[in-house]
Amino acid sequence: MKTSRLSELLELANDELDVLRRQGFVAVVRRGDCVFFELRFRDAMGRQRKKYLGTSARLADRVKLALREHQCARRLELNGKRIVRSTMRRLRTGKERIASNLATTGRYFHGFEIRRRRLRNRDRNISTEFQPE
C-alpha cells in the first residue's frame, strides 16, 4: 500500500487515513495568548476526533498541504458529479422547451432521441403506398 505524505507527518491508523480521504481539516485553536493547531475529522462511527499538531504554524501548513493532496481524488469526484448533475439539468430543461414544438410535427422524444410517430394503416395516404402492376 502506498504511504501518503499525511501518514509520514502524523501517526495515523489506516482507518483514520481512509476517513481523511473524504473529510477533515486543520483547525486553529486559541486559548488566551496560546495558539495551537489540531487535525479534526469524524471517524467511521461519526464521532468527532482530534489530533493535536502543536504550536508550529509550519507543521500545520505542511499537514494542510498533505491533507489537500490526500483528498484530491475525492474533490475531483465531487466536482465531476456536480458537472454531470448540471449537464443533466440543462438537457432536461432543453428537452422540455422543445417537446411541445416536436408534438406539432408528429415527433416525440424517446430518451434523448427524437422519433417520428408511425402512421396507422387507416391514416396513411393510399396513393403513397406501393401498388403492384
Residue 67 makes CB contacts below 8 A (sequence gap 6+) with 6, 20, 24, 25, 26, 39
> What parts of the chain have a pLDDT lower than 50?
1
- What is the domain partition of the chain in residue ranges? 5-70, 74-107
Taking only the tens place, the pLDDT of each residue in 62-82 is 999 999 999 999 999 999 999
pLDDT at 123: 58
pLDDT at 1: 45
Closest by CA position to 65, among listed 96, 37, 26:
26
pLDDT at 62: 92
